[in-house]
Amino acid sequence: MIKVAIMGFGTIGSGVAEVLDINKKSIAARVGDEVELKYVLDLRDFEGDPIQEKIVHDYKVIAEDPEVAIVVETMGGVEPAYTFVKTMLEAGKHVTTSNKALVAAKGAELIALAKEKNVNFMFEASVGGGIPIIRPLNSCLTADEIEEITGIVNGTTNYMMTEMTEKGADFNEVLKDAQAKGYAEKDPTADVEGYDACRKIAILTSLVCGQQVDFEDIHTEGITKITPTDIKYAQAMGRAIKLLATSKKGPKGYTAIVAPFLLPASHPLYAVNGVFNAIFVHGNVLGDAMFYGSGAGKLPTASAVVADVVEMAKNLDKNIPIEWSSKKLELVDYREWENRFFIRTTADKVAVERVFGTVTYVQAEGVTGELGFVTEKISEGDCEKKEAELGNILQKIRVA
Amino acid sequence: MIKVAIMGFGTIGSGVAEVLDINKKSIAARVGDEVELKYVLDLRDFEGDPIQEKIVHDYKVIAEDPEVAIVVETMGGVEPAYTFVKTMLEAGKHVTTSNKALVAAKGAELIALAKEKNVNFMFEASVGGGIPIIRPLNSCLTADEIEEITGIVNGTTNYMMTEMTEKGADFNEVLKDAQAKGYAEKDPTADVEGYDACRKIAILTSLVCGQQVDFEDIHTEGITKITPTDIKYAQAMGRAIKLLATSKKGPKGYTAIVAPFLLPASHPLYAVNGVFNAIFVHGNVLGDAMFYGSGAGKLPTASAVVADVVEMAKNLDKNIPIEWSSKKLELVDYREWENRFFIRTTADKVAVERVFGTVTYVQAEGVTGELGFVTEKISEGDCEKKEAELGNILQKIRVA
């Protein structure tokens, strides 16, 4: 019998308890032993709920119980999650977390601590919800050098962009709808400004390069400035606007960015709609691959957490190495990254061509009084300079 | 230094040598030791080629060399691959193969033998080329009961269906083009009749249920009967025709089938075009997920083989369990599986409705002198009976 504790009994935490219960038999068969929930750490008492008898309010009860082998952290946020997780690892317990804020900020340190204690710190659910991506990066794509990793890793904004595309609705309207449906939080900043996606691409890039990538270093733009007019242009180009979190390895090193991109219909991420997430990977020998699934939601995310529990339960005496050192990776300045850019302006063609040279104009249905055009491939830095020179810029969206 | 041998120096085998060379450094970093190619077993001498010095013609040289820890089998076909692989496992060597015929026929036995010898028998490249799917099923989706697994697992036929859809060309025309481009073999039977896909879904289903699924038990239809008229109907329905290999778990057990299906645009597999492969999985807690990538090709497939080599090199003294016993699984008769069916007939509406009851008619552009309709959900067996009763059947395609 392997005893588990859950810290934080919100949506994901209660989902983990549910999955451990629903699939009790098949999990026991895979592990070769029964996996049982012993404690739930939460501030609340859950009076009258069957979970009540497992509730504890002090994390030290869990840390000090030698019976508990595996701890699930589903509280969210850096503190007190960090303190609790660190204590559990120091007490020789395996820990899995769904908490991207914690992993992005403290991943390298907690991985090192787990290694030192010969236990495991896993975080499959911290990126892409139920989609297996951390384990595939760590144990499947091991023959490759990963040259690009690009994800639609935020379900809220992908739902919103899909709705804006399909219904022609504007940002605020779609946000209200997403909030009403529970897809967006009351304070949607972390999602719509790209902060959530930024932490996730920091984690993925750290795993790909094996070093610490600080999310604060990643240039991040959200979707708040995308308008129905932009969508019309996208449709005229046969493209879709998606919030991408992407990092690429170039001759000088890794660059990462979070921003809306115009994706062609031929791109595997083009058809990823609604609350679904997907992560596209390009390996130097594998070529293109993509992992698709539910990026959020109670049970899908809990499925990923429990997959970590199963892996740890099968390796109770063994640290499975994860290459992610605390040595900081200096990202190449995003301004050096070359892209084509779609730009909308009230300037005239003479000015546009004087500043940007050869461009391709785009005409969107019913849009007048402005110009829309796509630049040749230029660096982000160049583009910023040219925008300042041209002036009268209404919008800029990267073209993938 | 870990020494490797490759048996069969064709496209995949030479790709494996290339990947081991191109990514030598990163592979060594992941394994914690250098991985070096010592022997290549082939009938040819490769005179003047640098590989010449590693060529051996007798597999026993490899089996009897204690220095060789890992053997790669990329010969194809059941024999002599089976004899060679068995000998290697018996000699205490780890084996990875890209050979779906061997895995479908002898997988359970070779997995058991590897376990007995405390080595590993792995086969990531046998399904979906470079796409990680065997390892994800075995070690990532472990919190779930897999209720459905459906793949586009044959690049040749997917390329052909994509071309037929995009160009309106007929089967023979597209086949010639595919052969000219090297996407189809001179004798295309194994691909176009679905036999290749059949072996792959047998492997996937065996992994999902943990028992031996005999590919001979799987009802298999290819794409040879698909016509440009069918494509027109598909387009009128906003659907795409794809050759799917699929198995589902129902209340009575598992059913599997290989056949062309009409997929709606909302299905994740709808947008999988050209030579790409993808495998869709539905887990009882995960929900829908999909793994997409290059299903064939020298380097992508070699990437999957080498990922097995890395995994085995990291676990030289440990058998990683794979649940696939030799106990045969009796599949539920495919005739019990319920589907909607698209049917074309020269019979009239009165006859159609007398036999099939409520149906939905489809009108394809420029098609006259026949009726196209979609049935309600009925069993395969019922549908066959009704077809016989109606007569004058031009086509039947399942609707997913």
* ipTM of this predicted structure: 0.94
Known binding residues of A for NADP(+): 7-14
List where CATH 3.30.360.10 sits in chain B: 139-294
> Which one is catalytic: A38, A93, A106, A200?
A200
pLDDT in tens, B192-210: 999 999 999 999 999 999 9
Interchain CB distance below 8 Å, A302 and B292: no
Q: What CA–CA distance (Å, rounded) separates A270 from A280? A: 11
Q: DSSP secondary structure string, B4-25?
A: EEEE--SHHHHHHHHHHHHTHH
- What is the per-residue pLDDT for B75? 96
SS3 A112: helix
- What is the per-residue pLDDT for B251? 92
Looking at domain B139-294, which CATH architecture does it have?
2-Layer Sandwich (3.30)
Interchain CB distance below 8 Å, B139 and A19: no
Q: Which CATH number fits domain B2-129+298-313: 3.40.50.720, 3.40.30.10, 3.30.70.260, 3.20.20.70?
A: 3.40.50.720
Residue B291 annotated as part of some ligand binding site: no
Tokens, residue B185: 């073999």
Distance of CA B66 to the CA centre of its chain: 34
Is any Cβ of chain B less than 8 angstroms from the Cβ of A292?
yes
Exposed/middle/buried for A7, CB within 10 Å: 0-12, 13-18, 19+?
buried
Say if residue A328's pLDDT is above 90: yes
List where CATH 3.40.50.720 sits in chain B: 2-129+298-313
Interchain CB distance below 8 Å, B135 and A136: yes
Give the CATH H-level superfamily of domain A135-293.
Dihydrodipicolinate Reductase; domain 2 (3.30.360.10)
- What is the per-residue pLDDT for B349? 97
Mean pLDDT (whole number) for B284-300? 94
Length of chain A: 400
Q: A104, A123 in Cβ contact below 8 A?
A: no
| Average pLDDT of every residue of chain A | 96
- What is the per-residue pLDDT for B66? 98
Mean pLDDT (whole number) for B151-180? 95
Residues A64, A70, A73, A74, CA torsion sign: negative
Query: Of A140, A145, A294, which has the smallest distance from its Cβ to B132's Cβ?
Result: A140
Q: A77, A105 in Cβ contact below 8 A?
A: no
| Average pLDDT of every residue of chain B | 96
A288, closest residue in chain B (CA to CA): B293
Interface test with A, best of B139, B249, B306, B314 (most A CBs within 10 A): B139
> Which one is catalytic: B3, B38, B54, B200?
B200
Residue B369 annotated as part of some ligand binding site: no
Instruction: State the pLDDT confidence band at B295, using cuts at 50, 70 and 90.
Output: confident
Instruction: State the pLDDT confidence band at B252, using cuts at 50, 70 and 90.
Output: very high
CATH number of the domain at B334-399, please? 3.30.70.1150
Q: Which of residues 261-280 of B touch A (CB under 8 A)?
A: 268, 270-271, 276
Q: What CA–CA distance (Å, rounded) separates A95 from B221? A: 48
List where CATH 3.30.360.10 sits in chain A: 135-293
SS3 B122: strand
- What is the per-residue pLDDT for B221? 98
Mean pLDDT (whole number) for A313-330? 95
List where CATH 3.30.70.1150 sits in chain A: 334-399
Instruction: State the pLDDT confidence band at A295, using cuts at 50, 70 and 90.
Output: confident
pLDDT in tens, B229-246: 999 999 999 999 999 999
CATH number of the domain at A2-129+298-314, please? 3.40.50.720
Please report residues of B whose CB lies closer than 8 A to that of A292.
268, 289-292
Say if residue A209's pLDDT is above 90: yes
How many beta-carbon contacts under 8 Å exist across A and B?
A: 166
Say if residue B137's pLDDT is above 90: yes
Mean pLDDT (whole number) for B54-75? 98
Whether B106 is catalytic: no
Residue B366 annotated as part of some ligand binding site: no
Q: What CA–CA distance (Å, rounded) separates B395 from B177? A: 25
Instruction: State the pLDDT confidence band at A296, using cuts at 50, 70 and 90.
Output: confident
A322, closest residue in chain B (CA to CA): B30
pLDDT in tens, A43-101: 999 999 999 999 999 999 999 999 999 999 999 999 999 999 999 999 999 999 999 99
B265, closest residue in chain A (CA to CA): A271
- What is the per-residue pLDDT for B259? 98
